């Protein structure tokens, strides 16, 4: 099956509704609940990390439990915390739960995002614009602010930005605007935390096949998703896992303040 067979699904979408299914490295990686978050959680668990996964609501329960199953199959603990990171209090509660469960935080991955597509500026609801910013960038501030006091030298913060931060699509005006902010937040925070020995980097994916795509984009865009890249296809979540592992590891110990492109060859300069 190909993406041309994909029917539109209700946001935020689930893994089970995707045609074809995304590959998170469940069977291939050696070593959040869905999409990029699942791939990163699996990779980190197989590298020896215990994981806390934040996800939105009961619609995503099944995806979260499936991710937890893979983490636990790797012999690691997985704590699931539902709730809306657009609320500052919930961000603080996530960090408090992580500390109560694990005693410390070594890696903070800020990956959750909200997006919708619109043809016209006047069609974007005011509240949705605000919610996109609260979810995509404000939450990163609240989570980092709460986590940093518990992070030791050598710890890492990794923020998911996007090629949209450099090459914004007009149909994704709110989302692209937040991703520009994420890239700047990453660069500034890296400088602020350098003296504490905490590294901060961003990963900028190009077109990656996740539930966000068939649940928020027009059908014709879904069918051709990723075909305009030099590699001629969308990426799979597992193809991002390696950069998140590198940026969290000792092998990335001199890497901070960078935005690292995983775009199928589309330049990010």
Distance, first Cα to last Cα, the chain: 34
CA dist 138 and 86 (Å) reads: 7
55 part of the active site: no
Nearest CA-CA partner of 119 in 220, 192, 197, 18: 220
Nearest CA-CA partner of 133 in 177, 164, 170, 98: 177
Any idea what DSSP says for residue 234?
Answer: P
β-strand partners of 108: 157
CA dist 254 and 156 (Å) reads: 11
Any idea what DSSP says for residue 109?
Answer: E
3-state secondary structure of 200: strand
Query: Beta strand pairing status for 199-205 and 156-160?
Result: parallel
Number of C-beta neighbours around residue 138 at 10 A: 20
Which residue in 44, 175, 244, 254 is the catalytic one? 175
What are the angstrom distances between the C-alpha of 149 and each of 96, 157, 198? 11, 13, 11
The two counts, helices (H) then strands (E), for the chain are 9, 6
What are the angstrom distances between the C-alpha of 69 and each of 13, 15, 250? 20, 15, 27
Lookup result for tokens 């030298």:
153
> Which residues are identified as catalytic?
175
């Amino acid at each position: 099956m190909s993406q041309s067979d994909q029917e539109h699904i209700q946001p935020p979408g689930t893994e089970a509704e995707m045609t074809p299914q995304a590959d998170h490295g469940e069977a291939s990686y050696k070593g959040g609940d869905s999409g990029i978050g699942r791939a990163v959680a699996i990779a980190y668990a197989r590298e020896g990390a215990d994981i806390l996964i934040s996800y939105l609501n009961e619609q995503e329960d099944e995806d979260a439990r499936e991710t937890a199953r893979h983490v636990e199959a790797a012999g690691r603990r997985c704590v699931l915390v539902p709730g809306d990171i657009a609320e500052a209090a919930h961000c603080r509660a996530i960090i408090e739960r992580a500390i109560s469960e694990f005693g410390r935080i070594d890696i903070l991955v800020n990956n959750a995002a909200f997006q919708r597509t619109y043809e016209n500026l006047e069609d974007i609801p005011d509240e949705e614009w605000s919610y996109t910013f609260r979810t995509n960038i404000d939450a990163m501030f609240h989570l980092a602010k709460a986590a940093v006091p518990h992070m030791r030298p050598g710890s890492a913060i990794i923020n998911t930005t996007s090629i949209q931060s450099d090459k914004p699509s007009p149909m994704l005006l709110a989302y692209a605007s937040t991703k520009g902010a994420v890239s700047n937040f990453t660069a500034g925070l890296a400088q602020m935390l350098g003296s504490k020995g905490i590294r901060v980097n961003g990963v900028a994916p190009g077109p990656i096949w996740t539930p966000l795509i068939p649940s928020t984009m027009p059908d014709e865009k879904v069918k051709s998703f990723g075909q305009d890249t030099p590699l001629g296809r969308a990426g799979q979540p597992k193809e991002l896992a390696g950069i998140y592992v590198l940026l969290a590891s000792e092998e990335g110990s001199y890497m901070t303040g960078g935005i690292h492109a995983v775009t199928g060859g589309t330049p990010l300069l």
